[in-house]
Chain A
Amino acid sequence: MTRVSFDQQLTEIQEETLLMAGLVESAIDRSVRALKERDIELARLVIHDDLKINAKRYDAEEKCLELIATQQPLARDLRTIVSVLHITVDLERMGDHAEGIAKVALMGSDEAPLRPLADIPRMAQLANKMLMGSIEAFKDRDAKRARAICDDDDEVDALYDQVYSELLAIMANDPATLERATHLTWVAHNLERVADRVTNICERVVYLVEGHIRELNVSKY
């Protein structure tokens, strides 16, 4: 007794999840680049491409529901489908965070920059590294790696603290920077949320492998 067609469909929804993660990684990277390089076209592209990410999420949900309804998945199959459902929702929300950063890039495009961005791109880089690590852990069913990635969230939180307090100091010194600095706190917050959502993906990987739903890292935010 084999389930060739079911196995193909299971592979398909997982491959779609990997593709979606690639789109989200690119959106985060491009949104921060658009902000740093004041590239309006790139920012608009990120906003436009978010529709594709959203469509992938709904597509994944429909396919998962169809499999639940028609294949009565159990055990690992069930956990795979439930994990894909959760992971794609988290990815879609990460895409929204990238879109939010792109909107900030558009808003500030006609103003003088506060100062060259360094920590925010570092946050983005770290968040993206966590994201792709978590997706590889999902692909490889690697619970150990998923747990290790969760610990990196503390580093993103620390960077967020640093960026936030620096921006507060800038605002306190010069009220004329209030609007621009506030926008940058939004950007940093979006990136901090991306890293939090990566820990959700890691929790799903652990669930997929070990069968138990556990909170792995309680973010300080």
Chain B
Amino acid sequence: MTELRIQAPTPFRREDALVTAERQPAETGEPASDFRPAEATLFSLQGLSFWYGQKQALTGVTLDIPVNRVTALIGPSGCGKSTLLRCLNRMNDLIPGIHVEGQVTYHNQNIYAADIDPVEVRRRVGMVFQKPNPFPKSIYDNVAFGARVNGYRGSMDELVERSLRQAALFDEVKDNLKASGLALSGGQQQRLCIARALAVQPDVVLMDEPCSALDPIATLKIEDLIRELVRDFTIIIVTHNMQQAARVSDYTAFMLSDEQTTGQLIEYGPTQEMFTNPKDQRTEDYITGRFG
């Protein structure tokens, strides 16, 4: 895969996004899903549709995801948000019978093109899952695992320390790196999984409900960590917790399935705007808890 450099992002101010948002759907009459962030794009989805066998899960999703921002995907169960997330690192490829139409470009390259190695995509686009899933190995080996597989040639100790520091876990485990990853608390295990994802030096971290198995304090730690990580990484998070989406993300995309169409993007915009003044009635109904 061709090496591509990430464009340095301009400093982000939420007001800038709001100015863009004001010119968007309300005044132009365009659908609320047509919003485009006025920033460097990392992922660009063009009419992305997705099927598990005969069952369609995404319908024509067009969405630009900006570099070094947190983008939250929200929506009720079955709306396709996790499917969308898994399309971004071709994780869905592991499921037999899937079918993809449309385009997902990453650094302007179509990741579903025939010559693209999905393993390389997954190295660049890391993932953290709902339930912490450390390997039954030491903390050190958990973090070093991916780098070893990739034949990392630098100092492994430094990489492990740096990754654990980036995941805000180092100070809690530094005296006990040989202890089993499974001996950590749930919140620590999740941060260990984040460290493991960071150790292969991705530029994106996908998070699929990373806090749903954690208590409120551990949740807030992960949220703080997300805001730290976004300085160096692009983060895309699926969450059922709307307050969490409101707290951690810069942009929010709302998805919905109805009788006619499964997995459609309803509205996309700066988080502040989405949670105070959404454009689409369906977004309003969902985030104010009056959906269904």
- The residues of A with any CB-CB pair to B shorter than 8 Å are 1-3, 6, 72-79, 210-212
B288 beta carbon closer than 8 Å to chain A: yes
- Asked whether B278 lies within 8 Å of A75 as measured between CB atoms, the reply is yes
Taking CB as reference atom, which chain A residue is nearest B291? A1
- Asked whether B290 lies within 8 Å of A74 as measured between CB atoms, the reply is no
- Asked whether A2 lies within 8 Å of B290 as measured between CB atoms, the reply is yes
B281–chain A nearest beta-carbon distance, Å: 10
B28 beta carbon closer than 8 Å to chain A: no
How many angstroms between the C-alpha atoms of A6 and B289 in the bound complex?
10
B97 beta carbon closer than 8 Å to chain A: no
B108–chain A nearest beta-carbon distance, Å: 35
A189–chain B nearest beta-carbon distance, Å: 36
B242 beta carbon closer than 8 Å to chain A: yes
19 additional A-B pairs beyond A1-B291, A72-B242, A78-B275, beta carbons within 8 Å, are A1-B289, A1-B292, A2-B290, A6-B289, A73-B288, A74-B242, A74-B246, A74-B276, A74-B287, A75-B276, A75-B277, A75-B284, A75-B287, A77-B288, A78-B276, A79-B277, A210-B277, A211-B273, A212-B22
| Option from A3, A78, A79, A212 in Cβ contact (under 8 Å) with B289 | A3
Q: How many A-B residue pairs have CB under 8 A?
A: 39
Chain B residue numbers with a CB within 8 Å of A75 are: 275-278, 283-284, 287-288
Chain B residue numbers with a CB within 8 Å of A211 are: 273, 276-277
B260 beta carbon closer than 8 Å to chain A: no
The B241-292 residues at the A interface (CB cut-off 8 A) are: 242-243, 246, 273, 275-278, 283-284, 287-292
Taking CB as reference atom, which chain A residue is nearest B243? A72
**Contact sample, A vs B, 17 pairs, CB 8 Å cutoff:** A1-B290, A1-B292, A2-B290, A72-B242, A74-B242, A74-B246, A74-B275, A74-B287, A75-B276, A75-B277, A75-B288, A76-B284, A78-B276, A79-B276, A211-B273, A211-B277, A212-B22
Chain B residue numbers with a CB within 8 Å of A79 are: 276-277
How many angstroms between the C-alpha atoms of A76 and B274 in the bound complex?
11
Chain A residue numbers with a CB within 8 Å of B275 are: 74-75, 78
A209–chain B nearest beta-carbon distance, Å: 10
Chain A residue numbers with a CB within 8 Å of B287 are: 74-75
Interface centre among A74, A78, A79, A212, by most B CB within 10 Å?
A: A74
How many angstroms between the C-alpha atoms of A3 and B287 in the bound complex?
12
Chain A residue numbers with a CB within 8 Å of B290 are: 1-3
How many angstroms between the C-alpha atoms of A74 and B284 in the bound complex?
8
Chain A residue numbers with a CB within 8 Å of B284 are: 75-76
B63–chain A nearest beta-carbon distance, Å: 21
- Asked whether A212 lies within 8 Å of B277 as measured between CB atoms, the reply is yes
B88–chain A nearest beta-carbon distance, Å: 27
Chain B residue numbers with a CB within 8 Å of A72 are: 242-243
Contact with A along B128-139 (1 / 0, CB 8 A): 000000000000
Chain A residue numbers with a CB within 8 Å of B22 are: 212
| Option from B243, B273, B288, B292 in Cβ contact (under 8 Å) with A76 | B288
Closest 10 CB pairs of A and B: A211-B277, A74-B287, A1-B292, A77-B288, A74-B275, A75-B284, A3-B289, A75-B288, A75-B278, A1-B291
Chain A residue numbers with a CB within 8 Å of B291 are: 1
Chain B residue numbers with a CB within 8 Å of A6 are: 289
How many angstroms between the C-alpha atoms of A212 and B284 in the bound complex?
16
Chain B residue numbers with a CB within 8 Å of A2 are: 290
